[in-house]
Amino acid sequence: MRIELHGPDRLRAAPLFAGLPGAHAIVSAGLSGEFGQLWVDDVDRPSVAHLHLDFHFLGGAAESAAAPEFASAILRPSGLMMPTDWTPILREIHGDAFGDYERVSFGEASFDRAQLRRFTEALPVGYTLQRVPLDLFERFTAFEYDLTRNFRDAAHFIDAGFGFAVLYHDEIVAGCSSFTLWDGLAEVEIDTAAEHRRRGLALATGAALVLHCLDHGLTPCWDAANPESAALATRLGFTQPLRYRAWFLRKPA
């Protein structure tokens, strides 16, 4: 049986997610009850848990009788993070749709404010950088849904999150935002339109977000899904990279 937990009750599942190698800010936000959804097999003494905030996080005892039900509940396509002892269950249930890839989390950072400001000011002619206001929220979301997906609506994003956009002829072509924001930890989400890449736009929006965090006593958290993202994080000042395995379920054939 899968039982959904709400609000502070989600903290009962916190020990089941201890030891995950990355995405700690996302897990913390999910456990807060303010973001995503979380299910357990037992309210009082949970042995397995499933947290969903775009990514799916599985935690707890893979040998639990409830584990196959929780693994079966994850639909394709999806990204997954979990202890490695869950992999045989996922492979048995999802077959060839189940695979793994490398991610990189960063444990520390050494930021140079002056350099970050230079990054924000080095946009090519015709591009402008701005913080996302309420009246730009819908266009920001339409540009890339993941930039705001964990917030209930525009008001929630403006009140409890933040983002920065690069515009070109009044069109949003790059964005960076707080994917989640909880307990002083801001998980970074970033994207650039394919035809506008390699022009410093991601560097500018990422730098703007980091500067905003530094100015407001927040800790930016970067968990890279590919080498390009990891290289960008390093240029911004994130350090102590930790490579780890994550998993995915492919789209149905």
The fold of 111-236 is Aminopeptidase (3.40.630)
Decide if pLDDT at 253 tops 80.
no
* CA neighbours closer than 13 Å in the CB half-sphere of residue 195: 4
Q: What is the pLDDT of residue 15?
A: 97
Report the share of the chain in percent with pLDDT over 90: 96
The fold of 3-103 is Aminopeptidase (3.40.630)
Provide the residue type at 198 as one letter: R
| Pair of tokens at residue 141 | 């979301």
Range list for CATH 3.40.630.30 in the chain: 111-236
Long-range Cβ contact pairs of 151-158 (< 8 A, separation 24 or more): 158/133, 158/134
Q: What is the pLDDT of residue 21?
A: 87
Q: What is the pLDDT of residue 19?
A: 85
CA distances from 5 to 24, 37, 52, 71, 180 (A): 19, 8, 12, 18, 19
Nearest in space to 20 (alpha carbons), one of 6, 34, 31, 36: 31
Report the share of the chain in percent with pLDDT over 70: 100
Tokens 């993070």 belong to 81
Answer for the pair 165, 205: CB distance below 8 angstroms, yes or no.
Answer: yes
pTM: 0.94
pLDDT bin (cut points 50, 70, 90) of residue 194 is very high
